Structure 1
Amino acid sequence: MQAVLFSWGAAEEVTGSKHFLEVKGETLMVDCGAFQGHREEADRKNRHWEFDASQIDSTILTHAHYDHCGLVPLLPQKGFSGNIYTTPASRDLASLIMMDSAHIQAKDLEFLAKRAKRKGEIFEKEPLYNEHDVVTSLDYFVTVSYHRPLFIGDGIRATFYDAGHILGSAITVVDVNKNSQSMNIAFSGDLGRKNLPILRDPENIPPVDYLVMESTYGNRLHDPVESAMKHLADVVNRTADRGGKIIIPSFAVERTQELIYFLHLLHDEKRIPKIPVYIDSPMATNATSIFRVHQECYDEETRQAFLQHHQNPFGFNELRYVSNVEESKALNELREPAIIISSSGMCEAGRILHHLKNNVTDSRNTVLIVGYMAKNTLGRRILEKQAKIRIFGDYYPLKAEVVALNEFSAHADYRDILDYIQQLDYHKLKEIFLVHGEPDAQKHLKSLLDEKGYHTTIVRYGGRYTLNLH
């Protein structure tokens, strides 16, 4: 008997994760993420699916990043009627991210419709989904804790293990047992790193026959997490000394909380000046509330540093959560050093665009990049230090200092990935399938794995791969 693996997203690219396992008439989908990057291309791919959602029996959500959960609200309207399995923390974060996406879509289309009207044009585009669609999709969620096996089909069982990537993220091991034949396959989702703040390290999993592994940083090595605080302090001190502001585009989920954690420690240790820190992202503020609730996901270091001393890891004297639009606009009038953390992380939407518009032309300021920037995003253009960048249709000279700190990455680098794979049973592992990576990263990681004797395949968009039961 054979099973089939195929992907309609995050295949030779980073966004749009949608992986499928088909076995004896049953179909499991792992993640239902949105494509990001070039706006028109991403919109086209998000609207036109290459598969029939009504034929999917169940879905697993590995974690709550937009490129993994962003199209979940479309599942019911496209005919899906099964369960969506995930961890409790991922369910809470996914509801927040999907609702935020619906809100952004509505606002964006409202702006485009007004612009078209001014030009005497007709604009009839509809959002991908609305807030009602999000609420409807949440009824399909079933939450399951780590290490608790769940039966998701006839002879198909799944178990979640902590991926250490974001709150609630899971490596999923799927065990298939049909007609006295069996095999198991692990989906890494996004694999985290050791020693990240707040979260536990990625968990080891039992031996598996097949592994679907992310490869975002398959050709890069990160600086040690332990150096993050020093480099962050250097940027803050250098910018404050020249009277500037530090503008940090940040993912609302995980990255913002990590930054708050580190800045809290730096303030407590008096390693940076007492300048205000503004969290100007409603979603980040709400996500932080979810982090406070799900303390079961914290690592021992966070418990010792804060919880045992009855301290809130996500609150200190200089920290201010911006609650409304008026307060956000008031930040434009700041003339003193400050730190402004805002989303979206790739600078494609949200309040960060206003802060960039008002600050990139001042050489005293710093734009601090602390996360992955996909191709064709404003964040990537800033990272590449292009002389002029386009914001809201106008071009602005990029005079602010641009600094990238890769210690904050929540993705494993190629050394982390190799270390993780090498703890698995070499003789049982038949094949590794690389997903969620750009071609150069995947080719480099494949060459490293090939050298170590692994059978490695780069998954193609829509390609079908046979898995043998034994």
Structure 2
Amino acid sequence: MKLTILGAAEQVTGSMHLVQLKNYNILIDCGLDYEKDTFQRENLYFPFDPASIDVVILTHAHIDHSGNLPTLVRMGFNGQILCTPPTADLTNLLLLDSVNIFLSKQNRQPRSRKHRSGPEPLYLQKHVRETAERFITVDFNKEFRINDQLSLTFIPVGHLLGAAAVVLTVNENGLTKKIAFTGDIGRKNYPLLVDPQPIPQVDYLVSESTYGGRFHNNDTTLEQKLIETINESCIKFPGRLIIPAFSIGRTQALAYALNKIFSKKLLPPVKVFIDSPLASSATEIHHQYAHYLNKEAQDFYKSQHGQSEFKELSYVHDKRESTSISNYHEPCIIISSAGMLEGGRIQDHLYYNIQNYYCTILFIGYCAKGTLGNRLLRGDPIIRLRNRDLMVYATIKQTDLLSGHGDHNDLVNTVKQQDPKTLKRVFLVHGDIECLHNLSAVLEQDYQVDIPKKGDTYEL
């Protein structure tokens, strides 16, 4: 058995790993790489023949894990894509949204009469439809036999509805070997989602490292933080609170937390706008798979007669409604995508409010280097938007209480559930260099740890 690390090596995005058995090739995830200036080249060309891949196994729907699947299909992949049922539906939503983003970027490029245009989209809607036809869904904790030498089991890890660690059992040359891929590990007591479940004993583990050496703030609760921020932004001062949030996962968790706050009357009523058609569709999928949510969420929604909406909440459906929010002069909360400010309706709200002293922008998730969100978080006094330089007068805040990633302790505990006598090797991926080395420094006391470079191959 060979393992080749093809993505998220010494960086966060672009997850993609190749497991090669005799006459059978398995790809674990096929995500978009956001972190290079050469975005098109990085994502258009694979270091293998796509037609040579027999099966793809998808850990969860986020674009850095799923976003290049249609390119793989377009370039010749003809096999099945195995994932959990919620992951299949959420991935389809996100891939269709990616097409819209590609086309939007192309249309924004300056053009001459004949020749100049933006980059060609990596894929189109027809390629997404072809990709969706390849999904085969497998539920959690049920062994699925792929062929005589290979089976898989999905283990729930929180992080996102349907997200899973992948455990592969390989029978090769009379020996049985097990290798697990954590995908992205969630955190305990996260709104809506189940706690991560321990990964069974394996021989090899490929682990994410996003929060290596970083710790979540436990000094306050999410409810307390939101109450404090809303009170300062919208009640003490009649301003507006803008929250950039990923449409799938983060927005639903945030809406759930706000629902509990206003249902308990812990704050005076404040209008809440969710300005993302994608978030609206994702919320419907969360309703469809409500039995995948944690017990607290299921019990709360039962007490609300199955409704996730609340009196103060409004979903914004079309562009006209979105534009009209600029003329809403009462205090309000605006939740919009994308979470890193790279495209989406959030840029409209940013454009009209970044120079507003009575506006607060609250980041609730990770912003990759080079993104507009990252520039605001590092304190840039001027940002460039719509070909204009805009002074930053709005208040910029951040909390990691809605981060879907487990922190350093969660990652260490995930690995240390493995018996050092059984686990032969740990491969750390999906993390910045510093995070990778911080996590490795702790784990290497008990395990053999590797930090692969992109393209590194290991005989297992």
The bucket for the TM-score relative to the shorter chain is: over 0.9
In structure 2, C-alpha distance between the alignment counterparts of 1:257 and 1:192, rounded to whole Å: 15
Residue pair 1:16, 1:67 contacting (<8 A) in 2 also: yes
* Secondary structure in structure 2 of the residue aligned to 1:277: strand
Residue pair 2:106, 2:118 contacting (<8 A) in 1 also: no
Q: Which residue of 175, 195, 218 maps to 1:224?
A: 218
In structure 2, C-alpha distance between the alignment counterparts of 1:234 and 1:226, rounded to whole Å: 10
Question: Do structure 1's residue 66 and structure 2's residue 66 form an aligned pair?
Answer: no
Deviates more, 1:268-277 or 1:316-325: 268-277
- Summarize the alignment of residues 402-417 of structure 1 with structure 2, pairs less than 5 Å apart: 402-417=396-411
In structure 1, C-alpha distance between the alignment counterparts of 2:244 and 2:305, rounded to whole Å: 30
Question: Do structure 1's residue 89 and structure 2's residue 86 form an aligned pair?
Answer: yes
- Summarize the alignment of residues 8-23 of structure 1 with structure 2, pairs less than 5 Å apart: 8-23=6-21
Q: How much does 1:42 deviate?
A: 2.0
Q: How much does 1:79 deviate?
A: 1.2
* Secondary structure in structure 1 of the residue aligned to 2:105: helix
**What is the Cα-based RMSD across aligned positions, in Å?**
1.5
Q: Which residue of 173, 177, 184 maps to 1:179?
A: 173
Deviates more, 1:326-335 or 1:388-397: 388-397
Residue pair 1:58, 1:82 contacting (<8 A) in 2 also: yes
Question: Do structure 1's residue 381 and structure 2's residue 375 form an aligned pair?
Answer: yes
Question: Do structure 1's residue 310 and structure 2's residue 305 form an aligned pair?
Answer: yes
Q: Which residue of 392, 397, 406 maps to 2:391?
A: 397
1:460 alignment counterpart: 453
1:251 alignment counterpart: 246
String of CA shifts for 1:295-334, please: whole Å, max 9, x gaps.
Answer: 121111112222255242x300000000110000001112
Q: How much does 1:454 deviate?
A: 1.3
Describe the shift of the 1:225–1:213 C-alpha distance in structure 2 as closer, same or farther (beyond 3 A): farther
Aligned-partner residue type, residue 404 of structure 1: Q
Q: How much does 1:116 deviate?
A: 1.5
Question: Do structure 1's residue 54 and structure 2's residue 54 form an aligned pair?
Answer: no
String of CA shifts for 1:158-189, please: whole Å, max 9, x gaps.
Answer: 00010111000011100001231111011000
Q: Which residue of 274, 291, 294 maps to 1:296?
A: 291
Aligned-partner residue type, residue 274 of structure 1: P
* Secondary structure in structure 2 of the residue aligned to 1:158: strand
Q: How much does 1:215 deviate?
A: 0.3
Aligned-partner residue type, residue 284 of structure 1: A
Aligned-partner residue type, residue 263 of structure 2: D
Residue pair 1:227, 1:407 contacting (<8 A) in 2 also: yes
Residue pair 1:37, 1:377 contacting (<8 A) in 2 also: no
Describe the shift of the 1:24–1:225 C-alpha distance in structure 2 as closer, same or farther (beyond 3 A): farther
In structure 2, C-alpha distance between the alignment counterparts of 1:279 and 1:124, rounded to whole Å: 30
2:208 alignment counterpart: 214
- Summarize the alignment of residues 326-345 of structure 1 with structure 2, pairs less than 5 Å apart: 326-345=320-339
- Summarize the alignment of residues 136-155 of structure 1 with structure 2, pairs less than 5 Å apart: 136-155=130-149
1:270 alignment counterpart: 265
Q: How much does 1:117 deviate?
A: 3.0
Residue pair 1:237, 1:273 contacting (<8 A) in 2 also: no
In structure 2, C-alpha distance between the alignment counterparts of 1:335 and 1:310, rounded to whole Å: 32
Question: Do structure 1's residue 197 and structure 2's residue 227 form an aligned pair?
Answer: no
Aligned-partner residue type, residue 70 of structure 1: G
In structure 1, C-alpha distance between the alignment counterparts of 2:38 and 2:350, rounded to whole Å: 25
In structure 2, C-alpha distance between the alignment counterparts of 1:393 and 1:93, rounded to whole Å: 33
Describe the shift of the 1:225–1:431 C-alpha distance in structure 2 as closer, same or farther (beyond 3 A): farther
Residue pair 1:196, 1:225 contacting (<8 A) in 2 also: no
1:4 alignment counterpart: 2
In structure 2, C-alpha distance between the alignment counterparts of 1:305 and 1:276, rounded to whole Å: 21
String of CA shifts for 1:243-299, please: whole Å, max 9, x gaps.
Answer: 211111101111000100110111112222311100001111110110010012111
TM-score, length-scaled by structure 1: 0.95
2:23 alignment counterpart: 25
- Summarize the alignment of residues 102-113 of structure 1 with structure 2, pairs less than 5 Å apart: 102-112=99-109
1:36 alignment counterpart: 34
Residue pair 2:336, 2:345 contacting (<8 A) in 1 also: yes
Aligned-partner residue type, residue 256 of structure 1: T
In structure 2, C-alpha distance between the alignment counterparts of 1:305 and 1:20, rounded to whole Å: 41
Aligned-partner residue type, residue 178 of structure 1: E
Residue pair 2:108, 2:118 contacting (<8 A) in 1 also: no
In structure 2, C-alpha distance between the alignment counterparts of 1:28 and 1:393, rounded to whole Å: 44
Residue pair 1:147, 1:161 contacting (<8 A) in 2 also: yes
Describe the shift of the 1:177–1:305 C-alpha distance in structure 2 as closer, same or farther (beyond 3 A): same
Aligned-partner residue type, residue 202 of structure 2: V
Describe the shift of the 1:226–1:173 C-alpha distance in structure 2 as closer, same or farther (beyond 3 A): farther
Describe the shift of the 1:243–1:53 C-alpha distance in structure 2 as closer, same or farther (beyond 3 A): same
* Secondary structure in structure 1 of the residue aligned to 2:444: helix
Question: Do structure 1's residue 371 and structure 2's residue 365 form an aligned pair?
Answer: yes
In structure 1, C-alpha distance between the alignment counterparts of 2:60 and 2:280, rounded to whole Å: 19
Q: How much does 1:125 deviate?
A: 3.4
* Secondary structure in structure 1 of the residue aligned to 2:211: coil
Q: How much does 1:414 deviate?
A: 0.7
* Secondary structure in structure 2 of the residue aligned to 1:110: helix
Describe the shift of the 1:157–1:380 C-alpha distance in structure 2 as closer, same or farther (beyond 3 A): same
Aligned residues: 459
Residue pair 2:44, 2:71 contacting (<8 A) in 1 also: no
* Secondary structure in structure 2 of the residue aligned to 1:151: strand
Describe the shift of the 1:133–1:433 C-alpha distance in structure 2 as closer, same or farther (beyond 3 A): same
Sequence identity (%): 38
Name stretches of at least 5 consecutive residues in structure 2 with no aligned partner: none
Q: How much does 1:226 deviate?
A: 6.5
Q: How much does 1:155 deviate?
A: 0.5
In structure 2, C-alpha distance between the alignment counterparts of 1:87 and 1:25, rounded to whole Å: 26
In structure 2, C-alpha distance between the alignment counterparts of 1:389 and 1:9, rounded to whole Å: 30
* Secondary structure in structure 2 of the residue aligned to 1:465: strand
Describe the shift of the 1:125–1:421 C-alpha distance in structure 2 as closer, same or farther (beyond 3 A): closer
Residue pair 1:225, 1:408 contacting (<8 A) in 2 also: no
